[in-house]
Structure 1
Amino acid sequence: MLFPQLNSTRTLTDLNGMWQFQADEPAIDLNQPLPHPEWVAVPGSFNAQLLGPQYTDKVGYFWYETHFQLPSEQLQRRNVLRFGAVTHAAEVYLNGHLVMKHKGGFTPFEAQIDQFLQEGSNDLKVKVSNILDNTTLPSADYHGDGKETYRFDFYNYSGIQRSVVIYSTTTSYIDSITIPYQTDLVHTSVKPVVKVNGDFNHAELTVFDQDMNVIDQQNGLDAQLNIDQTHLWQPGHSYLYHLQVKLFDDNNELLDIYTKEFGVRTIKIENNQFLINKKPFYFKGFGKHMDFFASGRGMNLPLMNWDNHILQSIGANSFRTSHYPNDEITMQQADRNGQVVIDETAAVGLFIGFNANVEVLKNDQTTWNTLDTTAAHQLAIKELIERDADHPSVVMWSIANEPAGGQPGAREYFAPLVKLTKQLDWQKRPVTFTNMMRDDYQDDDIADLFDVVCLNRYYGWYTSHGDLKAAEKELRDNIMHWHEKLPDKPFIFTEFGADTVPGLHSLERSPYSEEYQVDLYKTYFKVFDEFSYIIGEQLWAYADFHTQDNMIRVDGNLKGVFTRDRRPKAIVSLLKQRWLKK
């Protein structure tokens, strides 16, 4: 699926803006206006914009509605309705007709709509579900009464989260482009895979450099294009080529054109090091939620751009899309800014009973005899790789966050998913997951399936709370035990930190103070630097974020090194000192 593009053969109609919205009710008629609507902004999370428990606390079904018109000449073309993401499931109706359904809240979906379009005003309705259960990603325990028990620690922002557009093409069009290449870091051969629907006479493929100078041009969809003296995509120093595909008819008239950016770089794991372009790379950065006031998890381009500048200013070179795929423009900008990305599916909450305060295992119950998420997980991996395979910023796939990797059935669940991920990705990128403290080296049964092991550890916070001497020993011992278990694997710490109340200071440097957060990170950094097979540190978290209300969350999760509105805590000065010189 191609990202929508406006050019000489493709039109683009933006349907973003203010839509009407309401909770589901029996009286809703597909052929009538919504009976009791409110106004909400699209894209955006409805439960970040509207007040009242009927929106902020409700789990169930909701309706969106808008109207649009298309120029008469556009109705003669092929028209496609595309959603960047709807959380977590959608049914789309145009002029009373069901157009498409989609499950999975963080990847795009689309359908051709010509048979449903009409002259004049068109009525578009979307039925949205924010229900999560034992079959979905993320996973939750749905009680069927408008309530559910979440197995993850972030707010269930919902709605039409990313852009809605209609794009049009001729009836002969480029359907998809993938850009496999081979390189020795000097000479690069590019063998694009282009899928075309409809009749055409011939195709022309061109590679341009970053300044749109022609590098090579060939005819035919099976053409190979060559780049000599390759400019490599490097962390912190992006260089992007452009592949342009043109289709022509029998009269040499242009039918369709599409241009796609790509970067050239290599990835290899060797001697417990992560090599990008044959050079060791050390991950410095964060786990990073899409979360902000009013927009919720909705696409927020000014915030995204602001965050990118903040990351660069403190020396961060990477982030993990915790715990779901980020929007497509975020990924494009990571390519352009030279940021390195661990691209994560929404497979979070795959651990029944990990929090005994909210969910307790019954007799003989395990995660893997309770959940039925395999189909959703396979689809999530497929859609993520289909969307992001050509992003040079993506150096690794994370297919799960903190699953129950030590419970019976875990290996049987994950082994086929790792294999699927490798099969779908032409680059054969490394595959990882994040391991949680409750599932440590003694119990884990899946880490050896993965290329890199990511560890989430909270010594000094959830264990040895306030005792950093004990935390230091626990951390060091844990690293050595993991290395003994998997001596040929590199490790990244993808979560570690402490809740920190902004502005709280303590002479005793006590927990929740900014001083304690600094001391905790100093302790971890000291230990990391002792081990060559630790190849990265991604703090939890980049910024404070909203969570469900519970007894350990006061105004959300406060482990951010920035507040939710991006005010720096004291730890940021230490990070700049460490990262800008490391």
Structure 2
Amino acid sequence: MLKPQATSTRDLVNLDGTWRFALVQSDLDSEAPWSKPLPGTLDAPVPASYNDIFVDPAIHNHVGWVSYQRTVTVPRGWTQDRYFVRVSAATHKGRVYINDKFVTEHIGGYTPFDAEVTGLVKPGESFRLTITVNNELTNTTIPPGILEVNEKGKKSQRYFHDFYNYAGLARSVWLYSVPAAEYVKDVTVVTDVEGKTGVINYDIKTDVQESTSGTSVHVVVLDETDKIVAEADGAKGAVKIDNATLWQPGAAYLYQFRAEIRKDGKVVDTYSVATGIRTIEVRGYEFLINGKPFYFTGFGRHEDTAVRGKGHDSAYMVHDFQLMDWIGANSFRTSHYPYAEEVMDFADRHGVVVIDETPAVGLNLFIESGLFGKGARATWSDDFCNDQTREAHADSIRELVARDKNHACVVLWSISNEPSTSEKGAREYFEPLVKLTRELDPSRPVCFINVMFATFDKDLITDLFDVICLNRYYGWYAHTGDLESAETAFETELKGWVAKYKKPIVMTEYGADTMSGMRSHYCTPWSEDYQVAYYNMCHRVHDRVPEVVGEQVWNFADFQTAANHIFRVDGNKKGIFTRDRKPKAIAAVLRERWNAKLDELAKL
């Protein structure tokens, strides 16, 4: 799905701002909030999660539907166009209504969807736009959850991921146009390098056939000075760029790949894709970008800030990337869902490498039984992760790849975080999903993120994947406070993975909760001193296991979690930075280590 853009043939109207807002207190269809102006006096900002905006606990803890509403005017000049409402994300289900008419529904809280307005409203006319959003999670959604209803009929939500279930319209809403007769529907670019020549293989989908009389597809590639460096005709093919400047980690270079539909020699539609030319390869124990070994330094992160929740904020985005650059982070993982498209665009422009992850987190009932002492339940079963769950998971993979396939920054697809892969049924669940991911994008390697319980002697699916990605907390959840024992156990396990699978390893999570300002001569857990000692221990192990090709600490910044976990006080405190982005003592230690790593990579 192409992100809307303004071009010589397309227009784009941003619908962000304050919208009328209301809870749906009973049944959505009986209340029919789209049928009239919303009652009450509440306004909600878009983009933002609604939970922390208001002081009313009933809104903060609401489970079910909410409604957003505003008036929109179709520009009067769009008489020769088709036009759509684009919802960048509605967590976790969204419905769009134009005046009294239902137009579309989308399930999945982190990927975009469109609702066509053409034919419902004429250019120059205004309409009532209502978007209803539902935050409920069930065993057949991604991520999964369990809905509970008490004796008074009040809903509550249980979920199995360790971050707060923020909801609402957390990303931008747009009104955009495309030419009515012929337009570019999709573009796929895959790059390669032949010596000093850059290759862009492309496939352009349009609403017209190439054989249509007088209509053709033309391709133009421009460099960063807007100089044309390649051209071609046809909807599918390849263009070559002599002496191409490659997209490199830390040194981005983007060509503009412009697809044009021409009719009788005139451009009737055009769409541009920012394209970084680079190659990715997993070879033996190495992860190669442009044929050179790459070592991941950086973070697992969250889209999480005070008040906004998961609402996209450009100021925070730029500041966070500044902090990553300062500390020497060359990469991050979109834990545990696709991030805003603006974040991906920014990573492209600044040469930051991304492990791109689906929202498939919490597919693990073993954690519940292990942490809370509850009876073990089967994860892969008719009652929890079943065939319907897997199809929802497949949809999340399809939508992630469709949205992010052209981003140079994306070097690895992660199809799930910490699923229960030591349980019977895991292989039957995941094998078709791995096959699907490779069919959708043969150009990138595929991984999943392994949970600590599924050690190399228990895991059932790692052989299906290209890279081993491990979340490990020796010294925190295991061997708590005993870093000497933790170091031995950690190194033993890593060497077990190497011996069994002979694949590169990326440490995608390791960390320790830390209260900012807490200090201890005795290196007490939760102190900044213990966090420093913990990371020093982990890094000694990494350095003794050469098959480790990356370290992404957990987490970039402290973040909010569900309030019903007694071991979480106002959120998860494993951040290297506080929630308001103040550095803890460990930040200086990581900065020294990672910048030295970057210097080593630059010499290769």
> 1:55 corresponds to which residue?
59
Match of 2:174 among 165, 181, 190: 165
Match of 1:374 among 390, 400, 425: 390
Q: Is the counterpart of residue 35 in structure 1 residue 51 in structure 2? A: no
Deviations 1:487-513 (A, max 9, x none): x21111111111000011111111111
Deviations 1:194-224 (A, max 9, x none): 1111466223211111221110122332353
How many correspondences in the alignment? 578
Distance 2:217 2:496 in 1: 56
Amino acid at match of 2:134: S
Distance 1:307 1:196 in 2: 37
Deviations 1:441-500 (A, max 9, x none): 2221011111111111111111111111111111111112222221x2111111111100
Match of 2:267 among 240, 243, 254: 254
> 2:583 corresponds to which residue?
568
> 1:134 corresponds to which residue?
139
> 1:112 corresponds to which residue?
116
Deviations 1:392-427 (A, max 9, x none): 110000000000101111000111111110000141
> 1:17 corresponds to which residue?
17
Distance 2:252 2:560 in 1: 33
Moved more, 296-305 or 202-211: 202-211
Specify every segment of 5 or more residues in structure 2 that has no aligned partner in the other structure, as ranges.
598-604
> 2:85 corresponds to which residue?
81
Q: Is the counterpart of residue 103 in structure 1 residue 94 in structure 2? A: no
Q: Is the counterpart of residue 302 in structure 1 residue 311 in structure 2? A: no
Specify every segment of 5 or more residues in structure 1 that has no aligned partner in the other structure, as ranges.
none
Q: Is the counterpart of residue 283 in structure 1 residue 283 in structure 2? A: no
> 1:194 corresponds to which residue?
204
Distance 2:71 2:432 in 1: 44
> 1:547 corresponds to which residue?
561
Amino acid at match of 1:3: K
Shift of 1:4: 1.1
Distance 2:77 2:348 in 1: 36
Q: Is the counterpart of residue 495 in structure 1 residue 509 in structure 2? A: yes
Match of 1:67 among 61, 65, 71: 71
Amino acid at match of 1:64: Y
Shift of 1:355: 2.1
Match of 1:175 among 171, 185, 192: 185
> 1:422 corresponds to which residue?
438
Amino acid at match of 2:572: N
Match of 2:525 among 511, 514, 526: 511
Residue 29 to residue 562, structure 1, CA distance change in 2 (3 Å): closer
Residue 153 to residue 223, structure 1, CA distance change in 2 (3 Å): closer
Amino acid at match of 2:274: E
Q: Is this contact kept in 2: 1:185–1:232, CA < 8 A?
A: no
> 2:165 corresponds to which residue?
156
Identity of aligned residues (%): 41
Distance 1:445 1:249 in 2: 55
Q: Is this contact kept in 2: 1:20–1:38, CA < 8 A?
A: yes
Shift of 1:358: 5.3
Deviations 1:313-371 (A, max 9, x none): 111100000000001110011111110100000000000141235583467x4434422
Q: Is this contact kept in 2: 1:185–1:265, CA < 8 A?
A: no
Aligned pairs for 1:199-278 within 5 A: 201-250=215-264, 252-278=265-291
> 2:409 corresponds to which residue?
393
Distance 1:95 1:209 in 2: 45
Residue 477 to residue 426, structure 1, CA distance change in 2 (3 Å): closer
Distance 2:456 2:413 in 1: 22
> 1:334 corresponds to which residue?
347
Distance 2:114 2:88 in 1: 9
Aligned pairs for 1:352-371 within 5 A: 352-356=365-369, 360-361=374-375, 365-369=378-382, 370-371=384-385
Residue 54 to residue 185, structure 1, CA distance change in 2 (3 Å): farther
What SS does the aligned partner of 1:557 have?
A: coil
Shift of 1:30: 2.7
Residue 122 to residue 554, structure 1, CA distance change in 2 (3 Å): same
Shift of 1:7: 1.8
Match of 2:428 among 412, 429, 445: 412
Distance 2:416 2:160 in 1: 13
- What TM-score do the two structures reach when normalised by structure 2? 0.93
Distance 1:51 1:410 in 2: 42
Moved more, 323-332 or 70-79: 70-79
What SS does the aligned partner of 1:207 have?
A: strand
Moved more, 195-204 or 475-484: 195-204
Match of 1:439 among 433, 454, 460: 454
Moved more, 5-14 or 199-208: 199-208
Distance 2:373 2:129 in 1: 40
Distance 1:243 1:366 in 2: 45
Distance 1:261 1:366 in 2: 41
> 2:538 corresponds to which residue?
524
> 1:558 corresponds to which residue?
573
Deviations 1:109-166 (A, max 9, x none): 1132112214532001111110011011111122244112110100001111111111
Q: Is this contact kept in 2: 1:353–1:360, CA < 8 A?
A: no
Distance 1:81 1:407 in 2: 43
Distance 2:52 2:192 in 1: 45
Q: Is this contact kept in 2: 1:75–1:114, CA < 8 A?
A: no
> 1:319 corresponds to which residue?
332
Q: Is the counterpart of residue 90 in structure 1 residue 99 in structure 2? A: no
Amino acid at match of 1:352: L
Amino acid at match of 1:558: K
> 2:8 corresponds to which residue?
8
Match of 1:467 among 475, 479, 482: 482
